């Protein structure tokens, strides 16, 4: 059982690395200069940080009531919940930038 968990964690780590290298893409919108695009991206990233902070707090509360987290299973706070948090962050940024009218290149 523990071997499967480590295999899953290693796989997620590799996938996480792929998403890291995907960060090189840029957001474009006709008629918008790079400074405005950076300002809009900063606003979307701030929103994503805010939303994922709330999500992490909820996850930590759930883990604490189920015997996980800092005082239970030390691996309960890593792996899939970290991946889900990063994916949530990326999704919020993407939706926000699209709402501003940007397209990812």
Which residue has tokens 């900063």? 42
Instruction: Please answer whether residues 91 and 47 qualify as being in contact, where contact means their C-beta atoms are separated by less than 8 angstroms.
Output: no
Number of domains in the chain: 1
* pLDDT digits 0-9 by tens, 42-85: 999 999 999 888 877 887 778 788 765 555 554 454 555 677 88
What is the extent of the structural domain holding 65? Answer: 2-104
**N residues, the chain:** 105
Longest CA–CA span in the chain (Å) reads 55
Q: What is the pTM of this model?
A: 0.60
More confident residue, 67 or 16: 67
């Amino acid at each position: 059982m523990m071997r499967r968990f480590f295999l899953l964690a290693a796989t997620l780590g590799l996938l996480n690395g792929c998403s890291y290298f995907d960060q090189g893409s840029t957001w474009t919108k006709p008629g918008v200069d790079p400074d405005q695009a950076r300002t809009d991206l900063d606003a979307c990233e701030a929103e994503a940080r805010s939303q994922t902070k709330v999500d992490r707090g909820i996850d930590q509360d759930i883990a604490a009531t189920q015997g996980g987290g800092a005082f239970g299973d030390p691996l309960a706070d890593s792996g899939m919940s970290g991946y889900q948090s990063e994916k949530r962050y990326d999704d919020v940024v993407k939706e926000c930038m699209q709402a501003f009218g940007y397209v990812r290149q």
